[in-house]
Structure formats: structure tokens, C-alpha cells
Amino acid sequence: MVETLSRSWGLVKASAGVLRSDKELMLFPVLSGLASLVVLATFALPVFALRVFEQGIGIAGLLLAFVFYFCQYAVIVFFNAALVGAAMIRLDGGDPTLSDGLAAARRRLPAILGYAAIAATVGVLLQAMKRQDNNFLVRLLGSGLGVAWTLAAFLVVPVLVSRDIGPIDALKDSVALLKRTWGENALGSVGIGAAFGLLTGLAAVAGVGLSVIAFQSSTTLGIAVAVVCALGLMLLAVYQAALTGIYSAALYRYAVSHEVPAGFSGAQLEHAFAPKR
């Protein structure tokens, strides 16, 4: 575990070096989050107001869930593609702007929407499996398939941004790159998520503790401390999303051409590609 966290932290620092060169890259996760909230509100308010699920989910509920997943994935993948597109420019030594990233995503909009439809279908099926309260094995299988899907799709966005191909071919390329370079347990042994999971957990515990102490002194102070801590956690989430986008772009570039982008040492990326022994 210590070795895993150490390697993950090394990758975080290398990605952070690139992000420090262009803090504007953090705007993409912020825009993605805001757009996702708009989509959530657009669906949630009518659903609660009309009590759509009061009599159970049913076929109509599943169709509505699919449309919701599709809209959410379309938003998330679009801004991820914009982030990766801008990161590609930065890794080539350029100085990308917000409009550069958005333009890169717009050029691939049909493929992004196609992939969003695939991801929405997978998402609905996995959620249906995980909600089988009376069948533990189905829930366990759903969780396992969710992990496998995350691994298989990790490089889809860089592939979509870099190549003029459809979403199915992009997914195939992502799986091929994973098999060829990482091995089965790559994301389990290294990953930015491990480091930020630890940081977020520690920050959440510290935030709760500070808020409790502040509330004992003053309600106003307690609310202020809680808001600041919540904003800090959101900033961590934005930072993690930006780092993940940069790392996926660099990892894709290395997997295809074995070129180590500026800001990443060869040893770090080679470590990420090393198959588990």
C-alpha cells in the first residue's frame, strides 16, 4: 500500500508540474461540474414535482434514466475532451486557451455523443445490476464489471481527441492500449485516484472536526468553517479531474509513440506501463 501511494504521489507531482504551467486547464472540470448540475436540476425537479417514480421505476423510468445518463455523459465527456485537447497542446509545448480546448471537443462532437450513448447504456445496465437487493452475486458482478469498464474506457477520450474515428473504434483502441502497455492491474497499482482519495479523506475528517469545534464557539463561525471546508473539498475534486486529464493525455502519447512529454520523467511513465509481476 505504501509503495502504491508513493508511486501515485509521484505521478501527481509530475502532472501538477504541467498544470502549474497552465492553471487555465482547471476551468474545464469547473465548467463540467456546473453543466452537470444544470443537467441534474433539469431532470430532478420535474421528476420530484411530477412524482415520476412514485409507483416504481418501470420501463418509462428506465428510459428516463437512460436519457439522464446520456445527457450527463455527453457533458462530462465533452469537457474531458476539451481538457485533453488543451493538455495535448500543452504537452506539445504550446500555450492552449480555453477556446482551444473547446474547439478540439467541438470538432469531435458526433463521436463524443456516440460514446456518451454507449456509456449511458453501460451505466444504466450496471446500475440495474447493482440495485438487485435480493441477489448479492449480481451486485458483485455489477461492481466488477464497473471496474472493468473504467479500465477499458480510460484512454477513450484521448483516442477520440487524437484520431478521426468513431466511438466503438476508440473504445477498441483504448482496450488494445491497456492490454499492450499496462497489464491487468495497472490502475490498481498506480493512479492519481489513490493519492487524492487519501487527501480527500484526510481533508474531510479535518473539515468535520474543525466545523464541530467552530460550532461549539459560534453558529456563524461554524457555518463559515463548514463552507470553507466544502469549498476546499470541491477544489481538490477540480484539481484531481484536471490532473487526471493531463495524465491520460500524457499516458496516451507515451503508449502510442513512447515519447515522454515535458514534465514527466521516463521512469514514472515506464513504471505505470510495467505489468504486475
Question: How much is the pLDDT for 8?
Answer: 54
Question: How much is the pLDDT for 17?
Answer: 78
At 167, phi and psi to the nearest 5? Answer: -65, -35
- Domain that residue 197 falls in: 2-273
Q: For residues 54 and 248, what is the distance between their CA atoms, to the nearest angstrom?
A: 42
How many domains, the chain?
Answer: 1
Grid cell in block for residue 132: 438487485
**For range 146-169, the mean pLDDT:** 88
Question: How much is the pLDDT for 184?
Answer: 34
Cβ–Cβ under 8 Å, residues 221 and 12: no
* Range list of H helices, the chain: 2-21, 27-50, 58-91, 98-107, 109-130, 136-152, 156-162, 167-177, 186-189, 192-217, 219-257, 266-273
Question: How much is the pLDDT for 98?
Answer: 92
Each residue's pLDDT tens digit, 69-99 = 899 999 999 999 999 999 888 888 788 899 9
Question: How much is the pLDDT for 146?
Answer: 81
3 state DSSP class of 179: helix
Radius of gyration of the chain measured on its C-alpha atoms = 20
11-20, 141-150, 210-219: segment of lowest average pLDDT: 11-20
Q: For residues 269 and 254, what is the distance between their CA atoms, to the nearest angstrom?
A: 8
Question: How much is the pLDDT for 183?
Answer: 46
Q: For residues 51 and 275, what is the distance between their CA atoms, to the nearest angstrom?
A: 50
Q: Is the pLDDT of residue 262 over 70?
A: no
pTM of the model: 0.81
